[in-house]
Amino acid sequence: MANLLTDYIQGKADLLSHYARSIDSLAETVPGSVSWPAGVVEGIKKYHQALGGAPELKGNEAVIITGQQPGIFTGPLYSIYKAITAIKLAENLSKKQDRPYVPVFWLGTEDHDFDEAASVYYLSKHLTASKLTYACESLSDNLPMHEVPIDDELRNLIDEVMNETQGSEYREIITAHLFETLNESDSLGDWVGRLLSRLFQDTPLVLFAPHIPEARRASAFIIEKAIREPLECTRLINEAGEQMAAKGYPQQVEKSADECAFFMLEGTQRCKVTWAKGNFQLPEVKKSYTEEELLVILADDPERFSPNVALRCVVQQVLFPVEAYVAGPGELAYWGQFKPVFEWCDVPMPVVYPRARAVLTNAKLKAMMTTHGLSYVDLGQPETTLQDQALKKVSAHPGRETVEESRRTLIKAADELTNQLSEMDAVAHTMAAKFHDGLNRRLDQIERVLMRSEEAQLESVRSQIGRLINALAPNRKPQERMMCVYSYLGEHGWGLIDTLHENLDIESFELNEIEL
C-alpha cells in the first residue's frame, strides 16, 4: 500500500488529482475578501460569550479551519496539535500575504460517537499509561455531544487524573478550573468547549459549534440538495474511494449504497437516514418520511438536520471562506474521496494541510533513550526486541567478547566455504549459504542468552523499556493518539500551550520532539 501522507506532502500528481491543489499553492494564492453568512458571526460571538471568551471578528477574514469531536479532557493530544497548526498557519499566511486569516476550531458537538469521546489515557507520575473512561449512567442512545449529560463520574475522573499525574504549583489551579468549568457546563460538548476556550484564551483561535441555530439556517440549502438527490453523495464517495484504492491508497470511507448524506434528530437521538422504496427511512426509530415531508421539516426546523462526514466538509465551506483544512493522516485519506462532492455542490474545495505531529518528552526520558540507543520509531517493535537492543548497549558480560571472537573466525570460514563451492556444485553452494546465515542466527541466540543471564541488569532494562513505552508509545501507538493534555498541565501549567506553539514546526511535516 502506498504511503498517502508522504506522497501528498511530496506533491505526487496522480494523488493530487483527488484534491483541490497542492500545499505549496496555499502561500501563493491570495484570497479575496469574502463576507461570512449573515448571522454566523453573531452566533459565534454568542457561543464564545457563553464559554467565557469574546473573539475579535469582522466576518470577512480568510479562514484556516480544523476540528474534532469533543472528547473528555479535550481528547488525545492530536486535537491540541491540530488547533496549534491552524493558529500558526493562519499567523504565517497573514504575515506573508498581508491579508487577515483567522483560525477556527470546529468542535463536533453534533457528533454522536460516545465510545470514542468517552475514553482517553493519561501518563501517571510513575510513568504508567492509565485509561480514563466516562461511564455516563444517564446516557441515551445516539445523543449528540451537545446533549450528553454531565454526572458525578466526571468529577471522579478529574480527581484521578490530577492526583495521579506529575504535579507542581500549577496542579491546584488546573484542578480548580476543571471543576469550575464542569459545574458551569450543561453537556459534555459544552464542557470541552470551555476547556478549549481556556487553553487557547491567549490565541486568536475561534471555537465554533455547528449546532448553533445560525449555522443550521445558513447551511440548510446543502441539506436540501442531499434530500432532493438522496444517494448521489454516497455514490460519489464510493466511486472516488475505488479510484483511490486502484492507485494503492486506502479507501478510508465506504458507505452503504442506501445511506443518505445527513442525519436527523428524533427527540434527542441523532439518527442515520437511508433511502428505500421511494422514502427516507430512520431505522433506529422505525420512522419513514417522504421527500416533501422532510423539506417541510427542514424549512421549519433546520436544527434537526446535520451533515455526514463528507457533507460536513462542504458545509464548513458554506459557512466560512476556508482556504485550508488542517487534517490528521486519516482525515487526509478521506478528503481524497470528497472532491466530487464539492463539485456536486458547486462549492470550492480548500487545500488540505497535514497537522503537526509531536512526541512530548523530558530530560530523563531522553537520557534513557540515549543510554539504550533507541529512537521513537524503535518503540513500535516487540518489547523483547527493544530489550535485546538495549542490552547490547549496556551488557558487559565477558562471554560476549568470546562470542564475537568466535564469530569472526567462524563466519570467515563459512564465507570461504560458500565461495569455494559456488563454482563446484549449486546444491552444495546453497546449503553452505544457508549454513552461513544460520550460523549468524545461532551466535546471536548465544549472545542473547549471555546478556539475559545478568538478572539485575535485565530487570533494570525491562523496567526502563516499559517506562519508555508507556510515556512515549503507550499501547504501541503514537503518544499523540493516546494521551490527553491534562497528563502534563498539572506540572507545566497553562504555559504548556505557549511551549507547544513555540516548538511545533508546522512546515517540516516531520515528527516534532518537544522536551518539557
Kindly state the percentage of the chain with pLDDT values over 70: 97
The region that residue 277 occupies, defined by phi over 0 for left and psi between -120 and 50 for alpha, beta otherwise, is left
* Cβ atoms 366, 374 nearer than 8 A: no
- The DSSP bridge partners found for residue 325 are 65, 352
pLDDT by residue (tens digit) across 170-215? 999 999 999 999 999 999 999 999 999 999 999 999 999 999 999 9
Residue 352 has pLDDT above 80, yes or no: yes
Residue 413 has pLDDT above 80, yes or no: no
Cell of 4: 498517502
pLDDT at 383: 85
- The DSSP bridge partners found for residue 235 are none
* Cβ atoms 239, 340 nearer than 8 A: yes
pLDDT at 449: 66
How far is residue 184's CA from residue 450's CA, in Å, rounded to a whole number? 61
| Packing angle of the helix pair 171-184, 152-164 (nearest 10 deg) | 170
Going by their DSSP bridges, the two strands 322-327 and 351-354 should be labelled as: parallel
Residue 439 has pLDDT above 70, yes or no: yes
State how far the alpha carbon of 464 is from the alpha carbons of 184, 372, 459, in Å: 42, 9, 9
Residue 404 has pLDDT above 80, yes or no: no
pLDDT at 231: 97
* Cβ atoms 210, 110 nearer than 8 A: yes
pLDDT by residue (tens digit) across 207-255? 999 999 999 999 999 999 999 999 999 999 999 999 999 999 989 989 9
State how far the alpha carbon of 129 is from the alpha carbons of 23, 460, 462, in Å: 36, 19, 16
**How much is the pTM?**
0.90
Backbone phi, psi, residue 110, to 5° = -85, -15
Provide the sign of the torsion angle of the four alpha carbons 200, 205, 211, 213, taken in this order: positive
pLDDT at 14: 93
